[in-house]
Amino acid sequence: MDLSFTAEERAFREELRDIFHTEIPERIRGKLRHGLHASRQDQVEAQRILNARGLAVPNWPVEWGGQDWSPVQHYIWQEELQLACVPHPLSFNCTMVGPVIAQFGSLAQKQRFLARAANLDDWWCQGFSEPNAGSDLASLRTTARRDGDDWVIDGQKTWTTLGQYADWIFVLARTDPAAKKQEGISFLLVDLTTPGITMRPIQTIDGGREVNEVFFDGVRVPGENLVGEVNRGWDYAKFLLGNERTGIARIGITKARVRRIRELAEQEWDGDRRLIDDPGFRRKLASLEVELKALEMTQLRVVAAERQLEKGKPNPMSSVLKIRGSELQQASTALMMDVMGPYVAPFFDEHEIEFGNEPPPGPADAATAAPQYFNMRKVSIYGGSNEIQRAILAKAVLGF
């Protein structure tokens, strides 16, 4: 039993840290550090730099651009990426559709899509949720009807994150209405320029527009764009959702935010003393740091156990990571609000914050504190809500 990383692992960490700090422009990383979003162009630029180094899709099979890394190396990669405030390689490409195509797609699909997805030449988005299919995703009603060699899609998808930037969408659609609900679903790849698709932005409570509704009205998709077998889409979706065993906790991002909280609390005055010198505040900060440490150690246990797990088989412990990881992302944005105090109130949109003539009133980062806090309410809802995670644990671990 040993907590330390090997000399090779430490060198690996140093090497990645160096690349992330020197090659990804500070202009982009600084935005994330201050709670702003990467633009489409930032995201593409960062991912292409990573991809040129083989660091965009290390989780993919080696023949399609992945790395033959140990679970610990994957963990280090992810943590350093997050600590350096590098935009994560687009998850829709890199942890969702890419691995599904690599695992279940045809050779033609692999050749056509994988390299472009890794390099963000194609921007993918997700067509899973529907207005009446949230946690109960398998009840989805969007249909794909066979017509000659083609599929014709009708229905509506929602919560499609960054769909406004996307070129392609991967869609779960019902192909056998008579089958049991999980058994009649297929996985289709759809070019967003196809006639019949309408994308409508949804403004979220932080004021941003990161999600969309997508309407499909007789959208014709060539038969070659079906992934794997007809009516097996649910299996592929489960593979996709179970794929990211340890990344979901986003501990590195929370760690980076907690560091920033400490920095700002050292600069912020409450009368004649700095906020960091307030014993009550110090206790709250220490408390969050303990919770984060406990989560990090739990993540390391899951990473270490991964060697013994069958590949692709989900570890129910990752539900613990999801629950606590999301709770701490939320708790850290709440503590950031506490640091800013009343200066969370002024509303400036991101464009004004970035390019306005005068900075918003109050401490640095004040203008992004409340939007981040509002936005982070989503993390206990998406990726399988925390209640769904509890249902998984109740069954898989406690045997109810």
Partner 1 sequence: MDFDLSDDQRLLKDSVDRLMAETYGFEQRRAHMAQPDGWSRGSWAQFAELGLLGVTLPEAQGGFGGGLVEAMLVADAFGRSLVVEPYFAHAVLCAGLLRHAAEASVQDEMLPVLAAGESLFAFAHHERAARHCLSHVETTARLGEAGFVLEGRKSLVLHGDCADRLIVSARLSGGMRETNGIALFLVDAAATERRGYATQDGLRAAEITLDGVIAEVVLGLDAWPGLSRAVDEASAFLCAEAVGAMDALLALTVEYMKTRRQFGRAIGEFQVLQHRAVDMQVQLELARSMALYATMMAADPDEETRSRAISAARVQIGRSLRHVSEEAIQLHGGIGMTMEYRAGHYLKRLAMIEKSFGDTEAHLDRLAAMGTAW
Active site residues: 244
C-beta of 5 vs 215, nearer to partner 1: 5
State the minimum distance, in angstroms, from the CB of residue 116 to partner 1.
36
Of 1, 7, 108, 178, the one binding partner 1 by CB under 8 A: 1
Q: Classify each residue of 216-235 as buried b or exposed e, where b means 16 or more C-beta atoms within 10 Å of its C-beta.
A: beebebeeebbbbebbbbbb
In eight-state DSSP terms, residue 145 is E
* 2 touching partner 1, by CB under 8 A: yes
Please compute Rg for the chain using Cα positions.
Answer: 22
Residues 261-280: x where in contact with partner 1 by CB under 8 A, - otherwise, as a string: -x----------------x-
* 110 touching partner 1, by CB under 8 A: no
CA atoms within 13 A on the CB side of 239: 17
Distance CA 328, CA 262 (A): 16
Cross-strand partners of 204: none
Q: Of 211, 201, 204, nearest to 375 (Cα)?
A: 204
Q: CA distances (Å), 277 to each of 268, 284, 340, 344, in order?
A: 10, 12, 15, 21
C-beta of 207 vs 316, nearer to partner 1: 316
Q: Give Cβ neighbours of residue 95 (< 8 Å, ≥ 6 apart).
A: 59, 240, 243, 244, 247
Chain mean position to CA 334: 20
* 7 touching partner 1, by CB under 8 A: no
* 215 touching partner 1, by CB under 8 A: no
Which of these ranges, 185-193, 329-337, 372-380, 391-399, lies near partner 1 under the rule CB under 8 A? 391-399
Number of other CB atoms surrounding residue 261 within 10 Å: 26
Residues 281-320: x where in contact with partner 1 by CB under 8 A, - otherwise, as a string: -xx-xxx-xxx-xxx-xx-xx-xxx-----------x--x
C-beta of 83 vs 241, nearer to partner 1: 83
Residue type, 116: R
Q: Of 145, 140, 113, nearest to 127 (Cα)?
A: 140
C-beta of 101 vs 285, nearer to partner 1: 285
Which of these ranges, 15-23, 129-137, 240-248, 388-396, lies near partner 1 under the rule CB under 8 A? 388-396
Please answer whether residues 175 and 188 qualify as being in contact, where contact means their C-beta atoms are separated by less than 8 angstroms: no
Distance CA 82, CA 88 (A): 7
* 323 touching partner 1, by CB under 8 A: yes
State the minimum distance, in angstroms, from the CB of residue 164 to partner 1.
36
Q: Give Cβ neighbours of residue 289 (< 8 Å, ≥ 6 apart).
A: 258
Of 53, 146, 209, 390, the one binding partner 1 by CB under 8 A: 390
* 72 touching partner 1, by CB under 8 A: yes
Interaction residues for partner 1, span 148-187 (CB under 8 A): none
φ, ψ of residue 338 to 5 degrees: the values are -60, -35
C-beta of 28 vs 339, nearer to partner 1: 339
State the minimum distance, in angstroms, from the CB of residue 140 to partner 1.
23
Tell me the number of residues near partner 1 by CB under 8 A: 42
Torsion angle of C-alpha atoms 50, 51, 54, 59, degrees rounded to 10: 100
Of 31, 74, 88, 324, the one binding partner 1 by CB under 8 A: 324
- Footprint of partner 1 (CB under 8 A): 1-6, 9, 72, 255, 262, 279, 282-283, 285-287, 289-291, 293-295, 297-298, 300-301, 303-305, 317, 320, 323-324, 387, 390-391, 393-394, 397-400
